[in-house]
């Protein structure tokens, strides 16, 4: 399908799904023959590649976002950073910060990323999984242990957790996917620095 054959409605649909620019959406639809889902995947991959290039840049601006749930029984504060005050004030950045706070409230992670998890903790978890896998063939044990550790880290680390609003759909995004998408759209390095969960009575 050529660029001229891509219906405007299709471009609009893709733009609404991804937040990418009109020309990027047209190009992605052309490359995928008008398949919206494949175009979404393509744009996400491109966004991740671009975001990786920005990852080393300083992010000292940003916002502290909050979310209060359950009639005031649960509250969340998150610090999300970007490079400039201009981007920090945009609706897109504020929406991302709000989504982060919502996900923290819904999924209750313990850490921002697996890099924040102490090596000693990971070593103890590996010992537990190694014991569970002791009856498995020796050649498969290491893979089983690392697989279980990765699954556990994805449950306790915010960036590796699924974005709860995606539900259980096939192309469910992680919070790292969301961060990379926001970074790609806003053209700045975006980071989640820290969060705090306040539960009434705890």
Tens of each residue's pLDDT in the chain, 202 residues: 544 578 888 887 877 776 666 777 888 888 888 888 888 888 777 765 455 555 556 667 899 999 998 788 999 999 999 998 899 999 999 999 999 999 999 999 999 999 899 999 999 999 899 888 888 887 888 888 899 999 999 999 999 999 988 876 667 888 999 999 899 889 888 999 999 999 888 7
Residues 46, 72 within the same domain:
no
Query: Length of the chain in residues, anyone?
Result: 202
Parent domain of 140: 118-155
Q: What is the pLDDT of residue 59?
A: 67
Residue 21 to residue 7: CA distance in whole angstroms: 16
Distance, in Å, from the CA atom of 87 to the CA atom of 98, rounded to the nearest integer, reads 15
Domain stop point among 20, 35, 54: 54
How many independent structural domains does the chain possess? 3
Same domain, 97 and 167: yes
């Amino acid at each position: 399908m050529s660029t001229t054959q891509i219906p405007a409605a299709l471009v609009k649909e893709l733009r609404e799904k991804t937040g990418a620019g009109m020309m990027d959406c047209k190009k992605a639809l052309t490359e995928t023959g008008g398949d919206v889902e494949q175009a979404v995947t393509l744009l996400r991959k491109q966004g991740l590649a671009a975001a990786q290039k920005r990852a080393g840049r300083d992010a000292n601006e940003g916002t502290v976002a909050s979310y209060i749930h359950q009639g005031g029984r649960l509250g969340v504060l998150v610090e999300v950073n970007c490079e400039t005050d201009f981007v920090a004030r945009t609706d897109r950045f504020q929406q991302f910060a709000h989504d982060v706070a919502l996900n923290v409230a819904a999924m209750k992670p313990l850490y921002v990323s697996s890099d924040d998890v102490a090596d000693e903790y990971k070593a103890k978890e590996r010992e537990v999984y190694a014991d569970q896998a002791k009856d498995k063939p020796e050649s498969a044990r290491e893979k089983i242990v690392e697989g279980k550790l990765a699954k556990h880290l994805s449950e306790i680390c915010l960036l590796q957790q699924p974005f709860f609003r995606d539900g259980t759909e096939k192309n469910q995004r992680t919070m790292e996917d969301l961060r990379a998408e926001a970074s790609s759209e806003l053209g700045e390095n975006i980071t989640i620095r820290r969060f705090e969960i306040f539960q009434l009575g705890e």
